[in-house]
Chain A
Amino acid sequence: MSDSARLPPPLLGLFRELLANGVPLGVRDYLDALRALQLGFGRLDLKQDGRQALRDLALALWARSDAEQRLIARWFDLVPAPGRALIDAIDEALARVSASGAGQSVGQRQGGTAPAGGKLAGPASPTAQPPPDAAPVEESCARVSFVGAHAGGGLPVPRLSVEPKIDEHYVLHPHTLVSLREMTVLWRRYRRSTRRGPRRELDLAATIRERCRRGRLLQPVCRARRANSARLLVLADTSASMDPWRPFLATLADSLRLGRLASAELRYFSNLPRSQLFADVDLTDPQARDEVLRRHAGAGLLVLSDAGSARGYLNRRRALQTAAFLAEAASLFPAIVWINPMPRTRWAGTTAALVAAGANVSMLPLDAAHLLRAVDILRGNK
Chain B
Amino acid sequence: MPDDSACKYKTFFGDRSAFYVATSQTATIVNLAIRLGRPLLVEGEAGCGKTRLAHAIAEELELAGSPISITVKSTTQAKDLLYRFDALRRLQDAQNPANTDARWVYPYVELEPLGDAIQKGKPCVVLIDEVDKADIDFPNDLLDVLDRFEFDIEDLPRSESDRCAAAKGFGRHVTAPADGVKPIVIITSNREKPLPEPFLRRCLYTRLDFPADAGILARIVRKNLDARLDDIGDALIAGAVARFCQIRERGRDLELQKLPATSELVDWVRVLHWQSRKAEEVSPDALSSADQAVLFKLHQDIERYRARTAEESAE
Q: Which A residues contact B (CB, under 8 angstroms)?
A: 24-26, 29, 32, 35-36, 39-41, 56-57, 60-61, 63-65, 179-181, 184-185, 188, 202, 204, 207, 216-217, 220, 258
Task: Determine whether B63 belongs to the interface, using a CB cutoff of 8 Å to chain A.
Answer: no
User: Given B2, B197, B204, which contacts A60 in the complex, CB threshold below 8 Å?
Assistant: B204
Within the complex, what minimum Cβ distance (angstroms) separates B313 from chain A?
34
Query: What per-residue 1/0 map shows which CB atoms of B93-136 lie under 8 Å from chain A?
Result: 00100000000000000000000000000000000000000001
Known pairs A188-B136, A207-B91, A258-B136 / 4 extra A-B pairs, C-beta < 8 Å? A179-B194, A180-B194, A181-B136, A181-B193
Task: Determine whether B228 belongs to the interface, using a CB cutoff of 8 Å to chain A.
Answer: no
Cβ B4 vs Cβ A39 within 8 A:
yes
Within the complex, what minimum Cβ distance (angstroms) separates B225 from chain A?
31
Query: What per-residue 1/0 map shows which CB atoms of B1-40 lie under 8 Å from chain A?
Result: 1111000000000000000000001001101100110100
- Chain B positions within 8 Å of A60 at CB level: 28-29, 32, 204-206
With A56-B25, A60-B206 as contacts: A181 and B194 at CB distance below 8 Å: yes
Task: Determine whether B200 belongs to the interface, using a CB cutoff of 8 Å to chain A.
Answer: yes
Cβ A202 vs Cβ B95 within 8 A:
no
Cα distance, A202 to B89, chains bound together (Å)? 13
Within the complex, what minimum Cβ distance (angstroms) separates A314 from chain B?
41
Within the complex, what minimum Cβ distance (angstroms) separates A219 from chain B?
11
- Chain B positions within 8 Å of A64 at CB level: 197, 200-201, 205
Within the complex, what minimum Cβ distance (angstroms) separates A80 from chain B?
24
Within the complex, what minimum Cβ distance (angstroms) separates B149 from chain A?
14
- Jot down 30 A-B pairs with beta carbons below 8 A, ordered by A: A26-B201, A32-B36, A32-B38, A35-B35, A36-B32, A40-B1, A40-B3, A41-B2, A41-B28, A41-B31, A41-B32, A41-B35, A56-B25, A57-B28, A57-B32, A60-B204, A61-B32, A61-B204, A64-B197, A181-B136, A181-B193, A181-B194, A181-B196, A188-B136, A202-B87, A204-B87, A217-B91, A217-B95, A220-B88, A258-B193
User: Given B2, B95, B194, B197, which contacts A216 in the complex, CB threshold below 8 Å?
Assistant: B95
Cβ A24 vs Cβ B95 within 8 A:
no
Cβ A63 vs Cβ B201 within 8 A:
no
- Chain B positions within 8 Å of A217 at CB level: 91, 95
Within the complex, what minimum Cβ distance (angstroms) separates A59 from chain B?
9
Interface residues on B, range: 20 to 34
With A202-B87, A258-B193 as contacts: A56 and B35 at CB distance below 8 Å: no
Within the complex, what minimum Cβ distance (angstroms) separates A321 from chain B?
39
Cα distance, A243 to B197, chains bound together (Å)? 29
Within the complex, what minimum Cβ distance (angstroms) separates A249 from chain B?
18
Within the complex, what minimum Cβ distance (angstroms) separates B134 from chain A?
12
- Chain A positions within 8 Å of B35 at CB level: 35-36, 39, 41
Within the complex, what minimum Cβ distance (angstroms) separates B5 from chain A?
11
Cβ A29 vs Cβ B201 within 8 A:
yes
Within the complex, what minimum Cβ distance (angstroms) separates B73 from chain A?
16
Q: Across the two chains, which residue of chain A brings its CB closest to B24?
A: A56
- Chain A positions within 8 Å of B31 at CB level: 41
Within the complex, what minimum Cβ distance (angstroms) separates A170 from chain B?
21
User: Given A56, A63, A216, which contacts B28 in the complex, CB threshold below 8 Å?
Assistant: A56
Which residues of B32-59 have CB atoms within 8 Å of chain A's CB atoms?
Answer: 32, 35-36, 38
- Chain B positions within 8 Å of A188 at CB level: 136
Within the complex, what minimum Cβ distance (angstroms) separates A175 from chain B?
15
Cβ B2 vs Cβ A39 within 8 A:
yes
- Chain B positions within 8 Å of A180 at CB level: 194
Cα distance, A56 to B26, chains bound together (Å)? 10
With A41-B32, A60-B29, A64-B205 as contacts: A202 and B88 at CB distance below 8 Å: yes
Cα distance, A41 to B24, chains bound together (Å)? 13
Q: Across the two chains, which residue of chain A brings its CB closest to B137?
A: A188
User: Given B2, B91, B193, which contacts A40 in the complex, CB threshold below 8 Å?
Assistant: B2
Cα distance, A366 to B113, chains bound together (Å)? 45
For the complex of A and B, list the 4 residue pairs with the smallest distance between their C-beta atoms, beginning with the closest: A40-B2, A64-B200, A60-B29, A39-B2
Cα distance, A24 to B199, chains bound together (Å)? 12
Cβ A24 vs Cβ B32 within 8 A:
no
User: Given B38, B91, B205, which contacts A63 in the complex, CB threshold below 8 Å?
Assistant: B205
- Chain B positions within 8 Å of A35 at CB level: 35-36
Cα distance, A35 to B204, chains bound together (Å)? 14
Cβ A36 vs Cβ B205 within 8 A:
no
Cα distance, A288 to B117, chains bound together (Å)? 58
Query: What per-residue 1/0 map shows which CB atoms of B55-97 lie under 8 Å from chain A?
Result: 0000000000000000000000000000000011001000100
- Chain A positions within 8 Å of B1 at CB level: 40
Q: Across the two chains, which residue of chain A brings its CB closest to B205?
A: A64
Cα distance, A64 to B118, chains bound together (Å)? 26
- Chain A positions within 8 Å of B32 at CB level: 36, 41, 57, 60-61
Q: Across the two chains, which residue of chain B brings its CB closest to A180?
A: B194
- Chain B positions within 8 Å of A207 at CB level: 91
Within the complex, what minimum Cβ distance (angstroms) separates B297 from chain A?
22
Cβ A184 vs Cβ B205 within 8 A:
no
Within the complex, what minimum Cβ distance (angstroms) separates A245 from chain B?
20
- Chain B positions within 8 Å of A258 at CB level: 136, 193
- Chain B positions within 8 Å of A220 at CB level: 88, 91
Within the complex, what minimum Cβ distance (angstroms) separates A19 from chain B?
13
Within the complex, what minimum Cβ distance (angstroms) separates A197 from chain B?
15
Cα distance, A202 to B206, chains bound together (Å)? 43
Cα distance, A26 to B197, chains bound together (Å)? 12
- Chain A positions within 8 Å of B88 at CB level: 202, 220
- Chain B positions within 8 Å of A216 at CB level: 95
Within the complex, what minimum Cβ distance (angstroms) separates B188 from chain A?
15
Cβ B136 vs Cβ A185 within 8 A:
yes
Cα distance, A35 to B25, chains bound together (Å)? 18
Cα distance, A25 to B206, chains bound together (Å)? 17
Cα distance, A240 to B60, chains bound together (Å)? 59
Cα distance, A247 to B202, chains bound together (Å)? 30
Within the complex, what minimum Cβ distance (angstroms) separates A103 from chain B?
34
- Chain B positions within 8 Å of A24 at CB level: 197, 201
Cα distance, A204 to B29, chains bound together (Å)? 48
User: Given B36, B95, B197, B201, which contacts A36 in the complex, CB threshold below 8 Å?
Assistant: B36
Within the complex, what minimum Cβ distance (angstroms) separates B90 from chain A?
11
Q: Across the two chains, which residue of chain B brings its CB closest to A40?
A: B2
- Chain A positions within 8 Å of B2 at CB level: 39-41
Q: Across the two chains, which residue of chain A brings its CB closest to B87?
A: A202
